[in-house]
Amino acid sequence: MLAKTDENGDVVRGKYKVIVGLGETGYSVARYFLSTGTQFKVLDNNTAPSRLHDLQALSPEMELHGIDPELLLGADEIIVSPGVPLSLPELQQALKEKLKISGDVAMFGELARAPVIGITGSNGKSTVTSMVGALSRAQIADVEVAGNIGTPCLDVLDNAVKLYVLEVSSYQLELATALPLKVAALLNLSPDHLDRYRTEQDYYTTKGNIYNNCEIAVVNRSVKFQFDIKAETIISFGTDQPGNALHFGVTENAGELILVQGKEELLKAGELSIGGEHNIQNVLAALAIGHAADLVMEDMVDEIKKYKGLPHRCERLGIFNGVSYVNDSKATNIGASISAVEGFGGRGGLILILGGEGKGADFSLLVTVLERYVKKVFVFGQDQEQIKAAVQQVVSVESCSRFEDVIDSVVNAAVPGDTVLFSPACASFDMFENYENRGNEFKRILMEKIQ
């Protein structure tokens, strides 16, 4: 359906905005509009979205509409929630009609009055965002951490804030293409969300939007994809030796890994409270970001030694009957699971649990790391047969129909000295509400089996 036009053929716009999708983000945008007296309508093809009751409690007269082309094309602005693909025909028509289409992060970029740090990447972005938040709060009053990490960014808008630290997803960067950032960091790239993007290159290019309007760019030296970065300063990090005094990396002394900036030793890897090579990279990224944001290095180093990590991200659950158990439910793509396997490989036998909704991923990318580090794989969930077919030539694979069966089988198979790593490499939505629910269920069932 085309937009309404007047007798001159000009599009007639209503004096209202439209929110498409009423999940956490849509509800946050709605609350913001209510606080500013903005007229808006809510569109969602789900007749009972998760936040409808809460919104109607705030605004009893608020109606929920389906994605009605006439309402959509009659708006003066459309705010699309991250979970709603821009490929929807109604949104494609709106783009053709040159309507303003935005998202909550793009709105935030226009409204925030304090410097903003933006962090994205295929893996580790929540961990690094949390780290940078902790480092910043130890030195600056009134720091807010928000975005894809949990709290919608519009919820933390406040003129008293001195610094914002945002985790930004590729979905948010589809619309936040010129986010004004003091520091922008892209931590890493690996194939993900190929059910939403046509190619890996499309996904990587979208991630690169983080750099489009930043003062300082923090880059990973191991990322080969080329971005056109116009930032005033570029700071790099990696697990090799840095090229000059501005960059961050790793050196070795008497068999001990040392994190450095240029030639200056910052701390030993063994002093960190979190383990794994991927977390060394995360710490280097956090220190580079903090340095770019003018934090005091000595104080950052003291603080980072105390950092314990986030739940569901290579979370050590303990050693039971001689077997170590690790909950890495946040590993929703192949790259995250590869990093986890590399981080825990070489410490005795490694048993890996994979499964869920694969999002169109190529599971053969796991073959090299499984062949090197893993003695057995257990698979479950929607795409278990695809995973099994991709890796069974290099590692023993056992399929399980129920999630509880997976944990039963793993507990029975593990022997003292083994490590059981729950790092699914898939999204959770085939069986669970989200990765947190999946990780909590893993922990709950595991504790019932081993106690």
The residues carrying an active-site annotation are 125, 148, 193
Q: Which two tokens stand for residue 289?
A: 């970001």
Q: What share of the chain is helix, strand, coil (3-state, %, to 5)?
A: 35, 25, 40
Residue whose C-alpha is closest to residue 334's, from 308, 305, 368: 368
The rounded Cα 115 to chain-centroid distance in angstroms is 21
* DSSP state at residue 43: E
Nearest CA to 132 among 145, 113, 151, 148?
Answer: 145
- The answer to whether residues 362 and 191 touch, using CB atoms and an 8 Å cutoff, is yes
8 Å CB contact between 79 and 18: yes
Q: How many CB atoms lie within 10 A of CB 148?
A: 22
The tokens describing 238, both together, are 């990696």
131 SS3 class = helix
- Best CA proximity match to 130, nearest among 312, 269, 260: 312
Write out the H or E segment, with its range, that includes residue 145.
strand 143-147
Measured distance CA(62)–CA(291) in Å, rounded = 46
Which residues pair with residue 284 across a beta bridge?
none
> What are φ and ψ of residue 92, in 5° steps?
-60, -40
- By the 8 A CB rule, do 439 and 329 touch? yes
Residue 238 and residue 444: Cα distance in Å, rounded?
Answer: 36
Are 94 and 67 a contacting pair, CB within 8 Å? no
Kind and range of the H or E run holding 116: strand 116-120
What are the structure tokens assigned to 349, written together? 């036998």
Tokens 């089996």, residue?
449
Residue keyed to tokens 């005033």: 232
d(CA 66, CA 45): 5
Query: What would the two tokens of residue 443 be?
Result: 């922990």
3-state secondary structure of 327: strand
